Amino acid sequence: MAEAIQVKTRGELQAMRAAGRLLAEAIAAGRAAVAPGATTMDVNDAVATVIAEGGGTSNFLHYGARGDDPGFPATICASVNDEVVHGIPAADRVLHEGDLLSIDAGCIVDGWHADSAVSLHVGAPPPDEQGMSEVDLIAACERAMWAGIAAARPQGRLGDISAAVEQSVGWSARADGRRYGSVSGYGGHGIGTAMHMAPFVPNQGKRGKGPRLTPGIALAIEPMLTLGRPGTRVLADDWTVVTKDGARAAHWEHSIGIGEDGICVLTAADGGAAGLAPFGVTPISLD
């Protein structure tokens, strides 16, 4: 039997918005800490400080703990270059000019979870064709995320989101004259009183298929793209996911809440107004 999808009241979505706003501030602090010579642990600590000072707790730290296994050892996932997701921050992992870094983080406020991710270059991108392709990759991944978010509507279907992400990736590939690998097996998810809940939100799918998007549902939408083939493998640390062919990867994510009258991007400082504007969608306010 499929796991039930958690449906929240509007007040509960508003509580999730509080967690999302704090996470937006924390990720902004993490981005500000990114510079050549900084370490991935420096970025981790910047995010952790904002979460703690805002009265939240990390939902990444010790995620998956059981028995003698302490679970994930940090507040953020810091994935560098060919690392797609779940990279572990370290005090000796120095960032260099031109590295491609994905920061993935989450927090809990009053029992409600938020989850978000961004990708960016450390300093300036490499001044060559590789650098140009990575700039396009990051933009294509972010655009696909917003396309998926814009397709989420009350009483729509989950497949509408997946299809919009997939279609956007294809459009970007044609427009950029590049081949993007859309990673499968990893994707978005329901979110609420836990970070990972039903349903799984794939980044490939068909419109009109899947569960109905009942008002009160909250989802994390997160495409992951590569500059090569989409195949991945997990490193010996049992966390870090890398591309099989060594191609660089990008990852973007926002958590959204679906209301009776539209959607709110819970983890965007502006509720999603800027990102949704190109799609003709105005988010609802849960502030």
> How do residues 5-38 score in pLDDT, each as one tens digit?
999 999 999 999 999 999 999 999 999 999 999 9
* pLDDT tens-place string over residues 180-199: 999 989 999 999 999 999 99
**Span 203-230, mean pLDDT?**
97
The mean per-residue pLDDT over the stretch 69-82 comes to: 98
- pLDDT at residue 260 is higher than 90: yes
The pTM of the whole model exceeds 0.95: yes
The mean predicted confidence, pLDDT, of the chain is: 97
Q: For residues 2 and 210, give the distance between their C-alpha atoms in angstroms, rounded to a whole number.
A: 12
Q: Give the list of residues 6+ apart from residue 124 with CB closer than 8 angstroms, or none.
A: 97, 98, 131
Identity at 103, one-letter amino acid code: I
pLDDT at 233 over 80: yes
The predicted model gives 88-111 an average pLDDT of 98
pLDDT exceeds 80 at position 72: yes
Query: Per-residue pLDDT for 216 more than 90?
Result: yes
Inform me whether the pLDDT recorded for 3 exceeds 90.
no
pLDDT score of 214 more than 70 = yes
Calpha distance 244→23 (Å, rounded): 31
The domains of the chain are located at 10-279
Q: Which residues of 143-152 are buried (b: 16+ CB within 10 A; e: fewer)?
A: bbbbbbbbbb
Residue 227 has pLDDT above 70, yes or no: yes
Q: Over 70: is that where the pLDDT of 205 sits? A: yes
Please calculate the CA angle 178-252-185 and round it to the nearest 5 degrees: 80
> For residue 1, is pLDDT > 90?
no
- Helices within 37-77 (DSSP H only): 40-53
> What is the structure's pLDDT at 279?
98
- The radius of gyration of the chain's CA atoms, rounded to the nearest angstrom, is 18
CATH of domain 10-279: 3.90.230.10
% of the chain beyond a pLDDT of 90: 98
The percentage of residues in the chain with a pLDDT greater than 70, rounded to a whole number, is: 99
**pLDDT tens by residue, 152-187:** 999 999 999 999 999 999 999 999 999 999 998 999
pLDDT at 46 over 80: yes
